[in-house]
């Protein structure tokens, strides 16, 4: 009989700790991905800030990457002095991208963003940044007036509009920012695991092995798709960060 054993969701998103030799400390695969993603992101800044007469290949790549964030995200989304936010947006984009791309790296094969802790932390950090930017630009009272009272709204409608703006700006916005990243990476990971398990189950001498090319094609397709998703979700998260900061700090509603 054909038996397909799909691992439970808790298994494909949870990795047990492994202790460091001769120490009381330990780590797991997710923590290791966080550290590597942070290291690679720092490397982008280090290489991008080096000044050489003849830039190396890695330095060229780093410089182009930083320029992409500055010109393609910060400048396009912000009416305010965008250059002060380029380091934040650059760090966000590359850290998220590196945590995502580990989905297709052998041995790791897990996007760290598929664990909700990371998207939650990043969304809350961005939430605090854009609130801080808004208060710095408008003052505490001016910021909340800017965010909650659209210009031109009749006073009689404010009891209806203000609660809607509170929910939209201060509750739905950070929640959707978090869920968009988490849900897309988790869904892609589950699909890739599904086709991988199916391919392994069909690797047999039985007659139904003739169907093996179908899930193998699915694995190849979803690996390529996850590369695209890793980039797009990092881009969307960073783009929305720029939009949120600008909406809070800009003097145009």
Kindly list the domain boundaries of the chain, sorted by start residue.
9-249
* pLDDT at residue 181 in the model: 94
- Residue 40, pLDDT > 50, answer yes
Run of H or E including 90: helix 86-101
Handedness of CA 48, 54, 60, 63 (dihedral sign): positive
Model pLDDT for residues 165-200, shown as the tens digit of each residue: 999 999 999 999 999 999 999 988 888 887 777 777
Identify the band that residue 1 occupies on the pLDDT scale cut at 50, 70 and 90: very low
Grade residue 100 by pLDDT with cuts at 50, 70 and 90. very high
Least confident window among 18-22, 66-70, 223-227: 18-22
Separation CA 197–CA 44 (nearest Å): 36
Least trusted range by pLDDT, from 2-6, 147-151, 200-204? 2-6
Determine which helix (DSSP H) or strand (DSSP E) holds 131, and give its type and residue range: helix 117-138
pTM of this structure: 0.85
Residue 85 banded pLDDT, cuts 50, 70, 90: very high
- Tell me which of 8-12, 103-107, 118-122, 196-200 is least confident: 8-12
Distance (Å, rounded) from C-alpha 220 to C-alpha 169? 40
User: Residue 25: pLDDT above 70?
Assistant: no
> Mean pLDDT in the chain?
83
* Among the ranges given (19-23, 180-184, 220-224, 237-241), the one the predictor scored with the smallest mean pLDDT: 19-23
Instruction: Locate 222 and state its tokens.
Output: 């979803």
pLDDT at 164: 92
Confidence of residue 62 (pLDDT cuts 50, 70, 90): confident
Identify the pLDDT of residue 44: 82
- What is the pLDDT confidence band of residue 34, given thresholds at 50, 70 and 90? very high
Give residue 176's pLDDT. 94
Instruction: Classify 121 as helix, strand or coil.
Output: helix
- For the chain, how many helices (H) and strands (E)? 10, 2
In whole angstroms, give the CA distance from residue 233 to residue 172.
18
User: What confidence score (pLDDT) does residue 229 get?
Assistant: 93
Under DSSP, the state recorded for 19 is E
């Amino acid at each position: 009989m054909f038996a397909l054993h799909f691992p439970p969701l808790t298994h494909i998103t949870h990795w047990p700790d492994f202790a460091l030799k001769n120490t009381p400390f330990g780590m797991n695969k997710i923590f290791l991905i966080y550290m590597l993603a942070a290291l690679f992101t720092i490397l982008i800044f280090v290489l991008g800030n080096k000044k050489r007469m003849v830039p190396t290949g890695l330095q060229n790549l780093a410089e182009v990457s930083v320029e992409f964030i500055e010109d393609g995200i910060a400048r396009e989304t912000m009416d305010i002095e965008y250059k002060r936010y380029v380091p934040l947006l650059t760090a966000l984009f590359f850290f998220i991208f590196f945590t995502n791309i580990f989905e297709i790296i052998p041995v790791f094969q897990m996007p760290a963003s598929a664990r909700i802790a990371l998207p939650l932390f990043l969304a809350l950090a961005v939430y605090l940044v854009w609130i801080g930017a808004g208060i710095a630009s408008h003052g505490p009272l001016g910021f909340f007036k800017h965010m909650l009272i659209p210009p031109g709204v009749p006073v009689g409608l404010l009891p209806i509009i203000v609660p809607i703006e509170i929910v939209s700006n201060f509750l739905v916005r950070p929640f959707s920012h978090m869920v968009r990243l988490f849900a897309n990476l988790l869904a892609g990971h589950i699909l890739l695991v599904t086709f991988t398990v199916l391919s392994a189950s069909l690797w047999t001498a039985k007659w139904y092995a003739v169907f093996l090319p179908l899930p193998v094609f699915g694995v190849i397709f979803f690996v390529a798709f996850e590369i695209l998703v890793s980039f797009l979700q990092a881009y969307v998260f960073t783009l929305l960060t720029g939009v949120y900061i600008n909406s809070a700090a800009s003097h145009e509603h």
